[in-house]
Amino acid sequence: MMTLSIDRVTPRQNQCWRWMLFSMLVGIAGCSATQEVPEKVDENALYEGRSTVTFSNLPVAKTAEEGVELGDQQLRAGEYDKALYMYIQSMELDENNTEALYKIGQIHLERGNTGKAIMAFEGVLARDSNHIYGNESLGVLYLKANRFKEAHSYFNKSIEADRSRLQADNSDQISAGSLTEDEIAAVSKQIEADRESPAHAYNGLGVVADLKGDHDRAQSLYSLSLEINPKAAITLNNRGYSYYLSNQWEKAERSYKAALRLDPKSPQAWRNLGLLYARQENYGSALTAFEQVMEPASAHNDVGYICLLEGKYEKAEFYFDRAMTLSPTYYEKAFENMKLTQRLRESQVTQR
């Protein structure tokens, strides 16, 4: 956890300290999202994996659709390089094949190849600006890069395109002429989402809403995202943190624990649960939570840091001291935090 480099914690800093860790706690990691991509995609630029010579025994797709199907087979088998090779083969047969290009982007996104992922997704949107998942994926990348305005725009485009899809599906149902009047009335009410809707877009808009302080809207967006994908641990974690920010601590705890049932190793959920317990002065449980994802010395330092931000200087000193004792080597962060705490205590005594 970071150390403060100030001589005293002001009321404004104390009020806003929860935002200092927001990106870490909701899992927004930094990355570059500044690539420009031409409308024509360079297939060689999109490949990254084993030498294509090793794939000489793979079947040769006769159509773009067959290339996607063969790529899907390799993807299901966990052969990402081979899947990538087949999707690129599909693109060579039809450079406007957005399905293949989107799946290329997804492979690069999962591998952390941000530049190549952006290149692929922007290529998708150059061919179909209303592509639901292309917009959603670019929104995710811009959100991770802390470029919230662009992320918000792409998420909205994704959801608008999805709403158009849902409205078209409903119109087809009604025009089929097989529904009763009551069923027609029910279908005519706008359906917000179904299982094919962009769950990540709703989750991303929730993060943006939380950053703006609109926690009620954020929680509604997270809940809608969870209706689409109930097993999204990251969304449960984000909703829990939103509840935490709005002082709904019991709901926050339930959401974190639900996230951990789905992903018992989630570092964000364990840290958030530890943060919640520390704020409730349940320091033993906080340490237990933190120690699931960090060494005991770091866990004690983090609890001490939260006590420091809360103005509980005596307890902060105790946990920083324990952190230095537990660390097998010199623990600079805990030592600096201890010095800061001592200065703040002295300043507090002087002001009285």
Give residue-wise pLDDT tens across range 166-176.
988 776 554 54
Asked whether the predicted pLDDT for residue 42 surpasses 70, the reply is no
pLDDT at 130: 97
- The confidence band for 187, taking pLDDT boundaries of 50, 70 and 90, is very low
| Mean confidence (pLDDT) of the chain | 85
Percentage of the chain exceeding pLDDT 90? 73
Render pLDDT for 71-92 as a digit per residue (tens, 0 to 9): 999 999 999 999 999 999 999 9
Asked whether the predicted pLDDT for residue 327 surpasses 70, the reply is yes
Render pLDDT for 128-162 as a digit per residue (tens, 0 to 9): 999 999 999 999 999 999 999 999 999 999 999 99
Asked whether the predicted pLDDT for residue 26 surpasses 90, the reply is no
pLDDT at 172: 56
**Cβ(316)–Cβ(308) below 8 Å:** yes
3-state secondary structure the chain: CCCCCCCCCCHHHHHHHHHHCHHHHCCCCCCCCCCCCCCCCCHHHHCCCCCHHHHCCCCCCCCHHHHHHHHHHHHHCCCHHHHHHHHHHHHHHCCCCHHHHHHHHHHHHHHCCHHHHHHHHHHHHHHCCCCHHHHHHHHHHHHHCCCHHHHHHHHHHHHHHHHHHHHHHHHHHHHCCCCCHHHHHHHHCCCCCCCCCCHHHHHHHHHHHHHCCCHHHHHHHHHHHHHHCCCCHHHHHHHHHHHHHCCCHHHHHHHHHHHHHHCCCCHHHHHHHHHHHHHCCCHHHHHHHHCCCCCHHHHHHHHHHHHHHCCCHHHHHHHHHHHHHHCCCCCHHHHHHHHHHHHHHHHHHHHC
Render pLDDT for 211-263 as a digit per residue (tens, 0 to 9): 999 999 999 999 999 999 999 999 999 999 999 999 999 999 999 999 999 99
Percentage of the chain exceeding pLDDT 70? 78
Q: What is the CA radius of gyration of the chain?
A: 25
32 vs 87, residue with greater confidence: 87
**Cβ(3)–Cβ(21) below 8 Å:** no
pLDDT at 3: 33
pLDDT at 169: 74
Asked whether the predicted pLDDT for residue 188 surpasses 90, the reply is no
309 vs 43, residue with greater confidence: 309
Distance CA 76, CA 36 (A): 31
Q: Give the mean model confidence (pLDDT) for residues 173-201.
A: 67
Question: How much is the pTM?
Answer: 0.81
Q: Give the mean model confidence (pLDDT) for residues 270-282.
A: 97
249 vs 45, residue with greater confidence: 249
| Residues 6 or more apart in contact with residue 63 via CB below 8 angstroms | 93, 94
Distance CA 193, CA 95 (A): 31
User: Which tokens in the block code for residue 316?
Assistant: 């902060």
Q: What distances in angstroms separate CA 137 from CA 29, 131, 150, 156, one per listed residue?
A: 15, 10, 12, 12
Asked whether the predicted pLDDT for residue 178 surpasses 50, the reply is yes
Render pLDDT for 5-20 as a digit per residue (tens, 0 to 9): 223 334 344 444 333 3
- The confidence band for 34, taking pLDDT boundaries of 50, 70 and 90, is very low
